[in-house]
C-alpha cells in the first residue's frame, strides 16, 4: 500500500509485462465459460412449477443497520455503536389496489406501511457501564438489556424469553465456553443459566443467559469492534423473526400466516460467534411450522431471505453473462436450485465433506430471474429434515417455492437493479446515514457519556 499522497510508478508495470515467467503462467491459464456452470445448474422452468394463485394480504420486512462512533480520539480511544433493526409491515392488498390507479398518490402509498424498530446504543472499547469493571462486561450487560426490554406485544413474551427458548436447543457437546471473567478460579467452568444469575465460583459475579452468544469473546480492547456489532445485529434480526412467530402462537394468530409473508435482508443463516443459534432457529421453525400447518389448513410458513451482495449474487450475475459480456443467458422466470456439489465447484470452492452451510444456515438458496429480468438470490427455510439434503435439489425441498417466486415477481423494485421493494422500504427505515447521521449520533454520545 502506498503512503498518503504517494502515486504508483511504472517500473513494476514494465517488469511484469516483460517477465517470461508471467507470460508462461498466463499461457497455461484457461478462462471458464459461464456456460460450463450453467450446464451443471438445475433450472426449473415456470411450467414445471405448480401454478400458484396465492396473494398475500400483508408482508413483514426486516432489515438492520449498525454504525460505530468514535467518542474520544487519540489513545486510548473510546467507541460506541448504534444498532437499529426495523420491521416494516406492508399492506400488500392495499398496494395492489393503488397499483391499479397509477400514478399513485405518495401519501396514500405511505399509508400502506407501518414500521417498528429495535434501537440501541452499545458500548465498545473504553466505554464502561456504571458499576461494571470493563468494556467487555459492559457489552455483556448491554446486550442482555436489549433482549430483555424488547417485545412485540406488551403482554407477550420478551425477546429474551424467545432467545432463552432457543437456548434450550443449544448442544452441550461443543467446546467448553470460558467464564467471561479473567479472575474466575481456573477450576470453575462456565455454567449456562437463565436470565441474570451469579457465577458459581467464590466471586459470584453476574452472568447472563445471553453470554452464550459469545459476542464479548472477540472484543478488541483498543480499536474498532465493527465485526461484533454486525454479529449482534444479525442475531437480533433473526431471533426477532422467531419472536414474531412465537408471539403469534401465544396470541392464537397463526391462522393469519396463510396470507402473510416474512422477508429478511440477507441469507437465512447466522455467522460468527453466535452461529450455534442457527441450528436452534431451525429446530424451532420445525416445531412452529407444524402448528402453522394445522392452523392454516396445510400452508407452510413463508419466510424468504433475499441477498443484496456477496459471492452468490456475483456468481448469478456471471452465469447470466455470455462470452461477449452481455447479460441474458439465464432465462426469465427460471429458478436455479443449488446442490452442495454445485456450490463447492462453482461458487464457494471447497473439497470439504460437510454440506455447505451445515453449521450456519437454517435455509437454502435459490436463484430466480423475474419476468422483468431482475436477478434475485433468495433463501427458503428448512421446515423438515428432508429439506437439508443438499446432495439433491428438488422443488419439494423448497417450501412454498411457487408462492415465493410469485411474490418476488409482484414486488421486484423498479427503482434499483435486482432489488426487492419490501427490503428497499425496510432499509429506508433502518439505514444509518454514514455522513450526517454519524455526526448526529457522535454528538449524542459525547453529550450523554461521561468521562
Cis peptide before 103 (omega within 30 of 0): yes
CA 378 – CA 284 distance, rounded (Å): 21
Separation between Cα atoms, residue 117 and residue 191, nearest integer Å:
32
Who has greater pLDDT, 288 or 353?
288
pLDDT at position 42 is: 47
So what's the pLDDT on residue 396?
93
Residue 242's Cβ-count burial label (10 Å; 0-12, 13-18, 19+) is buried
Q: What is the pLDDT of residues 390-445, one digit of tens each?
A: 999 899 999 999 999 999 998 888 778 888 888 888 888 877 665 444 555 556 65
Which of 90-99, 185-194, 284-293, 380-389 has the lowest average pLDDT? 185-194
Q: Would you say 94 and 112 are in contact if contact means Cβ atoms under 8 Å apart?
A: yes
Summarize pLDDT for 283-318 with one digit per residue, the tens. Answer: 999 999 999 999 999 999 999 999 999 999 998 898
Q: Are 302 and 404 in contact (CB under 8 A)?
A: yes
Closest by alpha carbon to 438, among 81, 44, 41?
81
For residues 212 and 194, give the distance between their C-alpha atoms in angstroms, rounded to a whole number: 10
Contact 95, 109 (CB under 8 A): yes
Domains along the chain?
Answer: 44-123+230-448 (3.30.2170)
Instruction: Report the pLDDT value the prediction gives residue 363, as an integer from 0 to 100.
Output: 97
Task: Please report the beta strands in 300-352, taking only residues with DSSP state E, as ranges in sequence order.
Answer: 303-307, 334-337
| DSSP reduced 3-state for 104 | coil
What residues pair up with 376 in beta bridges, in sequence order?
368
Amino acid at each position: 500500500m502506498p503512503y498518503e499522497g504517494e502515486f504508483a510508478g511504472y517500473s513494476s508495470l514494465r517488469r511484469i509485462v516483460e517477465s517470461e515467467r508471467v507470460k508462461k503462467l498466463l499461457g497455461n491459464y484457461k478462462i471458464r465459460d459461464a456456460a460450463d456452470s450453467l450446464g451443471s445448474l438445475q433450472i426449473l422452468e415456470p411450467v414445471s412449477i405448480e401454478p400458484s394463485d396465492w396473494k398475500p394480504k400483508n408482508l413483514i420486512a426486516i432489515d438492520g443497520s449498525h454504525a460505530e462512533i468514535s467518542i474520544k480520539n487519540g489513545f486510548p480511544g473510546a467507541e460506541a455503536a448504534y444498532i437499529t433493526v426495523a420491521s416494516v409491515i406492508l399492506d400488500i392488498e392495499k398496494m395492489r389496489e393503488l397499483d391499479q390507479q397509477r400514478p399513485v398518490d405518495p401519501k396514500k402509498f405511505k399509508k400502506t406501511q407501518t414500521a417498528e424498530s429495535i434501537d440501541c446504543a452499545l458500548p465498545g472499547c473504553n466505554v464502561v457501564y456504571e458499576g461494571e469493571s470493563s468494556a467487555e462486561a459492559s457489552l455483556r450487560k448491554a446486550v442482555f438489556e436489549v433482549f430483555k426490554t424488547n417485545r412485540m406485544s406488551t403482554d407477550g413474551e420478551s425477546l429474551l424469553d424467545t432467545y432463552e427458548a432457543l437456548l434450550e436447543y443449544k448442544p452441550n457437546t461443543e467446546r467448553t465456553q470460558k467464564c467471561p471473567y479473567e479472575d474466575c478460579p481456573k477450576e470453575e467452568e462456565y455454567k449456562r443459566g437463565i436470565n441474570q444469575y451469579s457465577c458459581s465460583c467464590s466471586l459470584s459475579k453476574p452472568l447472563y443467559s445471553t453470554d452464550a452468544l459469545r459476542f464479548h469473546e472477540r472484543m478488541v480492547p483498543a480499536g474498532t469492534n465493527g465485526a461484533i456489532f454486525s454479529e449482534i445485529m444479525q442475531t437480533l434480526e433473526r431471533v426477532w423473526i422467531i419472536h414474531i412467530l412465537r408471539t403469534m402462537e401465544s396470541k392464537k394468530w397463526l391462522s393469519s400466516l396463510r396470507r402473510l409473508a416474512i422477508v429478511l435482508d440477507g441469507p437465512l443463516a447466522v455467522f460468527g460467534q453466535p452461529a450455534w443459534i442457527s441450528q436452534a432457529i431451525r429446530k424451532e421453525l420445525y416445531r412452529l411450522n407444524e402448528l402453522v400447518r394445522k392452523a392454516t389448513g396445510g400452508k407452510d410458513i413463508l419466510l424468504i431471505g433475499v441477498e443484496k451482495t456477496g459471492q452468490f449474487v456475483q456468481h448469478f450475475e456471471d452465469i447470466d453473462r455470455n462470452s461477449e459480456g452481455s447479460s441474458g443467458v439465464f432465462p426469465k422466470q427460471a429458478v436455479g436450485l443449488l446442490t452442495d456439489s454445485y456450490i463447492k465447484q462453482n461458487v464457494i470452492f471447497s473439497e470439504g465433506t460437510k454440506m455447505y452451510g451445515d453449521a450456519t444456515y437454517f435455509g437454502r438458496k435459490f436463484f430466480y430471474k423475474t419476468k422483468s429480468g431482475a436477478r434475485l438470490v433468495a433463501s427458503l427455510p428448512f421446515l423438515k429434515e428432508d429439506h437439508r439434503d443438499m446432495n439433491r435439489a428438488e422443488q419439494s425441498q423448497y417450501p412454498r417455492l411457487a408462492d415465493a417466486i410469485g411474490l418476488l415477481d409482484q414486488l421486484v423494485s423498479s427503482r434499483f437493479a435486482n432489488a426487492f421493494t419490501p427490503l428497499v422500504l425496510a432499509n429506508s427505515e433502518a439505514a444509518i446515514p454514514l455522513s450526517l447521521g454519524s455526526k448526529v449520533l457522535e454528538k449524542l454520545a459525547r453529550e450523554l457519556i461521561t468521562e
